């Protein structure tokens, strides 16, 4: 089963993975979302503090790249929990292949302006910024970032949630990870690898055993059922910050290219139904400004694909001009150049939603009316 369900992707497989990320999550040339978890183990004999991690328990690390449909594309299992910041990714087989360009990824694309859009992986702020690994723009709060940076962070966070849901479904299905595993190091590695293979096998068959990922229904963000299952688990934990913030200029430039692409009329998302989902960014909002329908935990979204589902899309009402949390609804974008030109208005409105109260209150009613007027032609209200 390993050769079929946990084989390193070939060139054509990476192309399909990237296509699904662009189709489902509107992130171009993305080959996967990366994250890692500490898996609790009993203290190995004569190991000293090798497996003792920063959260004060013994563990090995499961580092993984997830696909757009919640499967594991690549995993690295067994790094000792004590490994220092930056060491887990850098010393892993995955990190080495990324760094050395050994993964046979899709070709670099060029935007209409000629900017390079290379194949990349995406991660959260725990990971270092690399030419092949994008992370969010840093800011203690959303209002510290310029509009294009906010939009980039939103788009990356939306796509990155795939790996969180993958780990969530994985741990909710295999309850052996609910508590520390009482076995030696090699056995824990074997158990983990077996569960990863079975996860991919069952996910490919569509058998999730009733476990759901985060989704969106009728304008309401619904957290995946896995969140309730694993809420009190102590068997897995997040990995620490991975390395320094001193990225090379090439990495900054590539991230800027993606940011500029998201602000351009060329952005492929203009041909789709976009579901604004900012629940994963609620932690950056000030107190007293909750998002409407936002669950307590982070959520991702699923796109509607049938005409009947499209008609469920809710229009932005002029009466909601200053009630920004209520504007998180689907917008049906027709596949025409004229409609594609209004994307920056849509993103501007999204950014205002993500801004602090003070920024929202300083946005003039005239400006908001103008934005909504430009968006009016994009809304399907049938």
- SS3 annotation, 68-106: CCCCEEEEEEEEECCCCCCHHHHCCHHHHHHHHCCCCCC
Q: Are residues 218 and 293 in the same domain?
A: no
276-334 tens-digit pLDDT = 333 433 333 333 333 333 333 333 322 333 333 333 333 332 332 223 333 333 333 33
- The count of domains in the chain is 2
Cβ-count burial of 151 within 10 angstroms (0-12 exposed, 13-18 middle, 19+ buried)? buried
What is the domain extent for residue 166? Answer: 2-102+117-255
Q: What distances in angstroms separate CA 57 from CA 175, 208, 221, 234, 258, one per listed residue?
A: 19, 30, 34, 10, 39
- The 3-state DSSP class for residue 39 equals strand
What's 213's DSSP letter? -
Residue (of 65, 62, 87, 56) closest to 76 by Cα position:
62
Q: Are residues 173 and 248 in the same domain?
A: yes
**224, 162 contact by CB (below 8 A):** no
Per-residue pLDDT at 190:
93
Query: Which of 255, 289, 306 is the C-terminal boundary of a domain?
Result: 255
Per-residue pLDDT at 250:
92
Per-residue pLDDT at 32:
96
* DSSP structure string for 249-298: HHHHHHHHHHHHHHTSTT-GGGGSEE----GGGGGGSPTT-PPTT--SS-
Q: Are residues 148 and 27 in the same domain?
A: yes
Residues 157, 99: Cα–Cα separation, whole Å? 23
Q: Are residues 52 and 152 in the same domain?
A: yes
Q: Are residues 366 and 334 in the same domain?
A: yes
Q: Is residue 109 part of a domain?
A: no
Q: Is residue 265 part of a domain?
A: no
Per-residue pLDDT at 18:
96
Q: Are residues 166 and 276 in the same domain?
A: no
Give the H/E segment covering residue 220.
strand 220-222
Q: Is residue 110 part of a domain?
A: no
Per-residue pLDDT at 294:
31
Query: Which of 224, 255, 286 is the C-terminal boundary of a domain?
Result: 255
**Between β-strands 109-110 and 215-217, what pairing exists: parallel, antiparallel or unpaired?**
unpaired
Q: Could you tell me the mean pLDDT of each successive run of 10 residues in the chain, 382 residues long?
A: 85 96 93 92 79 86 94 93 73 91 93 89 91 88 81 91 92 88 88 93 83 71 78 66 64 94 73 39 36 32 34 32 31 33 51 46 54 50 34
Q: Is residue 71 part of a domain?
A: yes
End-to-end CA distance of the chain: 48
Q: Are residues 152 and 287 in the same domain?
A: no
Q: Are residues 82 and 205 in the same domain?
A: yes
Q: Is residue 364 part of a domain?
A: yes
Per-residue pLDDT at 306:
39
Q: Are residues 97 and 198 in the same domain?
A: yes
Q: Are residues 223 and 191 in the same domain?
A: yes
Q: Are residues 309 and 246 in the same domain?
A: no
Query: Which of 255, 287, 315 is the C-terminal boundary of a domain?
Result: 255
Q: Are residues 244 and 284 in the same domain?
A: no
């Amino acid at each position: 089963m390993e050769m079929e369900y946990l084989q390193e992707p070939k060139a054509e497989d990476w192309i399909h993975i990237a296509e699904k990320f662009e189709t489902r999550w509107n992130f171009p040339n993305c080959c996967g979302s990366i994250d890692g978890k500490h898996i609790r183990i009993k203290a190995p004999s004569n190991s000293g503090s090798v497996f003792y991690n920063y959260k004060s328990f013994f563990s090995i690390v499961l580092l993984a790249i997830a696909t757009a449909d919640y499967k594991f594309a690549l995993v690295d299992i067994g790094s000792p929990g004590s490994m220092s910041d930056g060491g887990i990714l850098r010393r892993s087989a995955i990190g080495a292949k990324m760094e050395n360009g050994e993964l046979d990824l899709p070709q670099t694309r060029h935007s209409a302006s000629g900017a390079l859009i290379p194949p990349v992986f995406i991660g959260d702020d725990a990971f270092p910024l690399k030419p092949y690994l994008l992370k969010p723009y840093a800011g203690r709060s959303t209002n510290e970032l310029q509009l294009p940076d906010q939009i980039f962070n939103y788009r990356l966070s939306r796509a990155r949630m795939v790996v969180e849901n993958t780990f969530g479904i994985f741990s909710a299905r295999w309850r052996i990870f609910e508590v520390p595993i009482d076995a030696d190091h090699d056995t824990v590695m074997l158990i983990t690898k077996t569960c990863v293979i079975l996860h991919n096998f069952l996910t490919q068959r569509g058998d999730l055993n009733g476990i759901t990922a985060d989704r969106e229904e009728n304008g309401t963000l619904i957290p995946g059922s896995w969140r309730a299952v694993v809420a009190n688990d102590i068997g897995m934990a997040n990995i620490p910050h991975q390395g320094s913030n001193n990225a090379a200029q090439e990495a900054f430039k590539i991230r800027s290219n993606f940011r500029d692409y998201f602000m351009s009329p060329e952005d492929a998302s203009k041909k789709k139904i976009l579901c604004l989902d900012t629940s994963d960014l609620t932690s950056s909002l000030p107190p007293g400004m909750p998002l409407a329908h936002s669950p307590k935990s982070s959520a991702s979204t699923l796109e509607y694909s049938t005409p009947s589902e499209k008609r469920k899309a809710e229009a932005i009402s002029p009466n909601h001009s200053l009630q920004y949390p209520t504007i998180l609804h689907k917008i049906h974008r027709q596949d025409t150049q004229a409609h594609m030109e209004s994307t920056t208005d849509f993103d501007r409105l999204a950014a205002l939603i993500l801004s602090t109260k003070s920024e929202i209150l300083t946005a003039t009613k005239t400006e908001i009316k103008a934005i909504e007027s430009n968006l009016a032609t994009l809304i399907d209200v049938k």
